[in-house]
Amino acid sequence: MKINKKNLIVSISTAFYLLTANLAMAASSWGAPPQPGGVPINIESGLLNLTNWILGFVSMIAVLMVIWGGVLYLTSAGDESKAESGKKTVTYALMGLIIAGLAYGIIKVIVVNILA
């Protein structure tokens, strides 16, 4: 019986995926569900919640812009202006992501060390 390499790889990958998913679920600790309300108790947690939401939004936009810049670059078909536009889009999106991460770090340091 001849074994097809593609079928063998798919079978091994599927088995590995199913095994690791079960191990991950077994390793996780299930705690009590969060209490309803969602209103922060103090200003520190409110600022951190707001910062997390803003950073999540900025990160989502940055990832979309990196994808858009990559599409522009890949579909430039030798047009230097489109290729340059794609490179600039990716560069600026990554710079924005870095600046957002630094801003999050600064706010976290201020909230934890100064306000708390």
pLDDT digits (tens, 9 = 90+) for 14-59: 776 666 666 555 555 666 556 666 666 777 777 788 888 888 899 8
- Structural domain that includes position 84: 41-116
Residue 87 lies in a domain: yes
* Per-residue tokens: 5: 């390499």
Q: What is the pLDDT of residue 6?
A: 75
How many domains, in total, are found in the chain?
1
Residue 9 lies in a domain: no
Instruction: Give a yes or no: residue 110 inside a domain.
Output: yes
106 in a domain, yes or no? yes
Question: How far is 9 from 52, CA to CA, in rounded Å?
Answer: 40
Report the C-alpha gap between 31 and 23 in whole angstroms.
Answer: 18
In a domain, 24, yes or no: no
94-101: long-range pairs with CB below 8 Å, 24+:
94/62, 94/66, 96/58, 96/61, 96/62, 96/65, 97/58, 97/59, 97/62, 100/54, 100/55, 100/58, 100/59, 100/62, 101/55
